[in-house]
Amino acid sequence: MKLYLSLLVAGAAVLIALDSRCQTVQSPRPIIPTGHTISGKVPAKSEHVRGNPEAPVTLEEFGDFECPSCANLATFLEQLIKEYHPRVRLIFHNFPLAMHSYARDAALAAEAAGLQGHFWEMHDMLFKQQAGWSGAAIAGVQFDSYAETLGLDLNQFRRDLKSDKVRERIEADQARAKSLGIKIAPSLFIDGREMGPNDRTPEGVRKLVEEAVRAKSSRSERQ
C-alpha cells in the first residue's frame, strides 16, 4: 500500500498526459487505433532494458530527455518496474524532438554512457537534472560533469559522443518510431499495444500492466 501511494504521488501532476511542449510541429500524427499491436521484432542492438530481461510483460517507451512529461513518466515507470519485478521489463527508445535544442545531444550522452555500461544511470541523471542542462548555455558542460559523477572515462565518453555507433543507435530508435507513426513524446506500448488516450494516467497504466501480468500468468498456468 505504501508503494502504491508513492506511485500515485509521483503521478499527481498527471505525468503521463502528453504535454503540448513535447509534440512535434509537423503534420498531425497518423492515429494508431487503441489496441494496435506493434509488428516486428525490436532490434536487439537498440534495446535498453530495465528490470528482468526475461520478464513476460514488456513496456516499450519512446522518450525525449528534454521533455518534462517524459521526465515525470521516467520516475513513475522506474517505480512501477520495481513493484512488478520480475514480471515486467521496460525498453527505452530515444525519440529526441527537433523542437528541443539539446534533446539529441542528451540522447547522444545517454548512449555514450551506455557504451561504458551506464545507460540507465545517465538516463536517470538527465531526467532528474533536466531543469539545469536544458536551460544552460552549453549543455555539453553539464553532460561531461554527469559522466564524471558516474565514474566514466571522460575521454572515451567524449569520443563516443561523436561516434557512428552512438549515432546509429539513435537513428535505429527513430526509424522504429517513424515506422509506428509516432510524433509525440512520451509514447508508451504495453506488450506491443499502444496506450489508449483514456489510459494516460498512473492509474490507467497500472491497470493495463496488471491486466497484462494476469494474462501472461494465466497463459503460463495453462501450458
Q: Which run of H or E residues covers position 190?
A: strand 187-190
Domain total in the chain? 1
So what's the pLDDT on residue 217?
86
pLDDT attached to residue 202: 87
**30 within a domain of the structure (yes/no):** no
Instruction: Tell me what pLDDT residue 11 has.
Output: 42
Tell me whether residue 188 is in a domain.
yes
Residues 6+ apart with CB under 8 A from 128: 71
74: cell is 521516467
C-alpha distances out from residue 120 to 49, 80, 99, 109, 160, Å:
9, 15, 24, 11, 16
Q: What is the pLDDT of residue 85?
A: 96
DSSP string, 69-119: HHHHHHHHHHHHHHHHTTSEEEEEEE---TTSTTHHHHHHHHHHHHTTT-H
Range of the domain at 144: 2-23+36-222
Task: Confirm whether 28 is domain-assigned.
Answer: no
pLDDT > 50? residue 9: no
pLDDT of residue 196: 81
CA 183, CA 30: separation in Å to the nearest integer? 9
pLDDT, mean of residues 88-94: 97
User: What percent of the chain is predicted at pLDDT more than 90?
Assistant: 69
Q: Mean pLDDT of all residues in the chain?
A: 83
120 assigned to some structural domain: yes
pTM of the model: 0.82
Q: Looking at the domain assignment, is residue 31 inside a domain?
A: no
On the question of pLDDT at 144 being above 60, the answer is yes
CA 209/CA 37 separation, integer angstroms: 15
Per-residue pLDDT tens over the stretch 28-84 = 333 333 334 444 344 445 589 999 999 999 999 999 999 999 999 999 999 999 999
pLDDT at 157 over 50: yes
3-state secondary structure of 188: strand
- Asked if residue 129 has pLDDT above 50, the reply is yes
Angle made by CA atoms 125, 127, 131, in degrees to the nearest 5: 105
Residue 29 lies in a domain: no
Please check whether residue 6 lies inside any domain of the structure.
yes
| End-to-end Cα, the chain, rounded Å | 32
Half-sphere exposure of 36 (CA within 13 A, CB side): 17
Reply yes or no on whether the pLDDT at 191 is more than 50: yes
Pick 136 or 18 by higher pLDDT. 136
CATH number, domain with residue 185: 3.40.30.10
